[in-house]
Structure 1
Amino acid sequence: MRLTVSHSTRYRYDPPVRNVTQSLKLSASRFAGQQVLNWHITAEGATIGSPFVDGFGDTVFTLTASGPLDSLEVLVTGTVTTQDHAGVLKGHREKASPQVFLRATAATRADEAILALAQKVKADNAQASQLDIAHALSQAVSDAVRYAPGSTHAHTSAAEALAEGQGVCQDHTQVLIAMARSVGLPARYVSGYLFADADGVPHEAAHAWAEIYIDTLGWVGFDCANRCCPTEYYIRLGSGLDARDAAPIRGIHSGGSEEQLDVSVVVKQSQQ
Structure 2
Amino acid sequence: MRLNVLHKTHYTYDAPVPYGLQQVRLRPKSRLGQLVEEWRIDVTGGQVEVSFEDEHANAVDLVSFASGQTEIEITCAGIVDVEDKAGIVGPQGGYVPLWLFRRSTVLTKPGEHVQALADSAPANCSDLDRLHALSAHVLEQVPYSTDQTASDLTAEAVMEAGHGVCQDHAHVFITAARLLGFPARYVSGYLMMDDRVDQDASHAWAEAYVEGLGWVGFDISNGISPDARYVRVATGLDYRGAAPISGLRYGNAGEDMSVTLQVQQQ
Once the two structures are TM-superposed, the CA of residue 55 in structure 1 deviates from its matched residue by 2.5
Contact 1:5 1:267 in 2 (8 A): yes
Once the two structures are TM-superposed, the CA of residue 265 in structure 1 deviates from its matched residue by 0.8
Once the two structures are TM-superposed, the CA of residue 86 in structure 1 deviates from its matched residue by 0.4
Contact 1:57 1:92 in 2 (8 A): no
Once the two structures are TM-superposed, the CA of residue 92 in structure 1 deviates from its matched residue by 7.4
Alignment of 1:56 with 2:70, yes or no, is: no
CA offset digits 1:189-231 (Å, max 9, x no partner):
10001102xxx33384610000101121111000010000000
Q: Distance in 2 between matches of 1:266 and 1:66?
A: 27
Contact 1:28 1:36 in 2 (8 A): yes
Moved more, 101-110 or 76-85: 101-110
Alignment of 1:201 with 2:195, yes or no, is: yes
Runs of 4+ in 1 over 3 A off after TM superposition: 90-93, 200-205
CA offset digits 1:222-271 (Å, max 9, x no partner):
0010000000000111011111221011111111331111111111111x
Task: Output the TM-score relative to the length of structure 1.
Answer: 0.93
Q: Which one of 128, 131, 134 corresponds to residue 131 of structure 1?
A: 128
SS for the counterpart of 1:67 is: coil
Match for residue 216 of structure 2?
Answer: 220
Q: Which one of 217, 229, 234 corresponds to residue 233 of structure 1?
A: 229
SS for the counterpart of 1:136 is: helix
SS for the counterpart of 1:208 is: strand
Task: State the aligned residue count.
Answer: 264
| Alignment-mate amino acid for residue 236 of structure 1 | R
SS for the counterpart of 1:201 is: coil
What's the RMSD between the two structures over aligned residues? 1.5
Q: Distance in 2 between matches of 1:32 and 1:90?
A: 8
* Superposition map of 1:1-272 within 5 A: 1-90=1-90, 93-121=93-121, 125-196=122-193, 200-202=194-196, 204=199, 206-270=202-266
| Alignment-mate amino acid for residue 126 of structure 2 | S
Once the two structures are TM-superposed, the CA of residue 95 in structure 1 deviates from its matched residue by 2.4
Contact 1:16 1:256 in 2 (8 A): no
| Alignment-mate amino acid for residue 29 of structure 1 | K
CA offset digits 1:93-117 (Å, max 9, x no partner):
4221221111111111111010011
Task: Output the TM-score relative to the length of structure 2.
Answer: 0.95
SS for the counterpart of 2:89 is: coil
SS for the counterpart of 1:134 is: helix
Moved more, 2-11 or 95-104: 95-104
Aligned sequence identity (%): 39
Q: Distance in 2 between matches of 1:182 and 1:97?
A: 18
Contact 1:4 1:267 in 2 (8 A): yes
Q: Distance in 2 between matches of 1:102 and 1:111?
A: 15
The unaligned stretches of length 5 or more in structure 2 are none
SS for the counterpart of 2:138 is: helix
Contact 1:8 1:76 in 2 (8 A): yes
Contact 1:13 1:70 in 2 (8 A): yes
